[in-house]
Chains A and B, each alone.
Chain A
Amino acid sequence: MHPIVPMAVITVGFSALLWCGMLWLYSGRTMRFVRLVWFGLPLSAIVNLLVKGPLGAGGGDLAGIEPGLGLDTPVWFLIFLFLLAPVFEELIKAMPAVLPQVRRRMGTEGDALWTGMALGMGFGLGEAIYLAWQVVAAGAYAEYPWYAFTGFFGERLLVVFMHAMMTGVLFRIAQRGRPVLGYLAAVGLHALLNSGAMLYQLELAPGWAANAALGVMLVAFALLFDRIRPKRAAAERSEDTVYYSSGS
C-alpha cells in the first residue's frame, strides 16, 4: 500500500468530520445541508479528468508548447493554465444547482450560503481523494513513511473550507439574482488562492511565500464567513431561560 493512503484516509475523515460538523452547527443543527456534500464528491475527478486535463494538454499541443518550460512558457499560455482551475472548478461546483432537490434548499441568502458551502466541501473532499489517487497512480514518494505527508493533511484540511467558502459566496450572490457576478467573485477568489502556488511553481516566489498566501487567504475567508453567515435571530435569543437578572 502506498504510504499516502493512510494519511489520505485521516485527512478526508478528519476534514469531513470537522467541516461537516461546522456546517451542521452553523446552519442550525440540521442535516439538511450536510446531505448535499455527497453531490460535490465526484466533481473534482470529473473536472480534472474530462475538462482541465484534456484542455491543458490539447491547448499545449495545438500551440506546440512543451510542458515543463517554466518561465520560458509563453505568457498567454501561463495565464490560460492559471485560469483553468478557477474557471472550470467553480463552474462544476455550481452544477448541482440544476437539480431541483438542491435548488429547493436555496430559499434565503443564508440557505444559499449553506447549500454552496456543502457542495464546495464535497468538492474539496473529493479533490483530496483525487490528488491522493494521482500520487498513488504515479508511484511517487513511495519511499516515504505515511507520516511524512502531514503537509498534505494540513493543506487539504484548509482547502476543503476554502472550496466551501468560494461556492458559498457564489450561491449567496446568485440567490440575490446575480449568478454571473457570484461566479466571477468565486473565480476571482479561487485565482487569488492559487496565485501563491503558481508563483512558486514558476520559481518566482519561495515555498514559504506560497504557504503564507494560503494562511492569509484562510484568515480572509474566516473573516468573510463571520461577516456573511446568518446570525442568530433576536427571537431565538428570547428563548433563553433567565435565572437571575439584577436589571442593571
Chain B
Amino acid sequence: MSAPVLATFKPARSYGWVWLLAILLLVAASVLPVFRLGDIPPDERIAIWITIAIMVPLIAFLLATLASIPAMRYDLTNDELLLSCGPLYRYRVPYAEVSDVRRTTLTPTLWSSMRMPGLALGGVMYADIGTVKMCATRMSRDILLVTAGKRRYGLTPADEAGFMATLAPLLPPQQHATER
C-alpha cells in the first residue's frame, strides 16, 4: 500500500504540448504513403512497411505522452517525493537521500530526448551536469533541481514557494539555506 500523500503540487503551465502535438503530426505524416501503396512499385513497398514498423510504436508512445501531460504532478509523502506524469514517467525520491535542492538554469545538449520548449520528460542529458530525470514543464530555465544520491531530478512546480515550504521540513535536518 502506498504512503498517504501529504500534499500535491501541479507543474507550472506551459505550451509544451503544442510542440509535442506538432512532432506527433510530423511523425504521423511519414506513414501516410501507406494509403497509396498501390501506386508504389512492389520492390519499394518494403521501405514503407519498415517505416510503419518504426513509426507506429513511436506514434503510440507520443500519443500516450501527450495524453499524460495533464496528469503531471508532484506528491509529497512522509518518506518520499513522487514525481509522475501518467504511467510512463514516475520517479520516487526518498527524502533521506536528498543532498541538494536548488533553482537553476540548465543547458540542454543536442542529444535526443523527450524535451522541447515547455516540456521535459524522462532522462535528459544536460551539458552542465549530465543526465537529469525530468518531470517538468520547462526545458532549461528555472528548473528546481533535486539531487538525491547520484541521481538528479528536475521539476517545475507552479507554486515553487509553497512546494519548498512543504518539502524543506521533510528533508534531513542538516544545513538549510536560502541564498542567492
Q: Does B1 contact A (CB under 8 A)?
A: no
In the complex, which of the residues A148, A241, A246 contacts B103, with contact meaning CB atoms closer than 8 Å?
A: A241
CA distance A239 to B179 in the complex (A): 9
Q: Which of B102, B117, B128, B171 is the one whose CB lies under 8 Å from A242?
A: B102
Interface flags for B126-166 (1: CB within 8 Å of A; 0: not) read 01100000000000110010000000000000000000100
| Contact across chains for B164 and A226 when beta carbons are under 8 A apart | no
Q: Which residues of A contact B (CB under 8 A)?
A: 10, 14, 21-22, 25-26, 29, 145, 147-148, 150, 153, 222, 225-226, 231-232, 236-237, 239-248
Say whether, besides A232-B127, A242-B178, A14 and B26 are in contact (CB < 8 Å).
yes
Contacts of B175 in A (CB 8 A): 245-247
A232 to B106, CA, bound (A): 9
Q: In whole Å, how far is B60's beta carbon from the nearest beta carbon of chain A? A: 19
Residues of A within 8 A of B98 (CB): 244, 246
CB pair A247 B127 closer than 8 Å: no
Contacts of A26 in B (CB 8 A): 107
Q: Is the CB of A147 within 8 A of B32?
A: yes
Q: Of residues 7 to 32 in B, which have CB atoms within 8 Å of A's CB atoms?
A: 22, 26, 29-30, 32
Q: How far is the CA of A246 from the CA of B105 in the complex (A)?
A: 21
The answer to whether B177 touches A245, judged by C-beta atoms less than 8 angstroms apart, is yes
Q: Select from chain A the residue with minimum beta-carbon distance to B176.
A: A244
Task: Look across to chain A and name the residue whose beta carbon is closest to the beta carbon of B109.
Answer: A226
Bound form: Cα–Cα A150–B167 in Å: 48
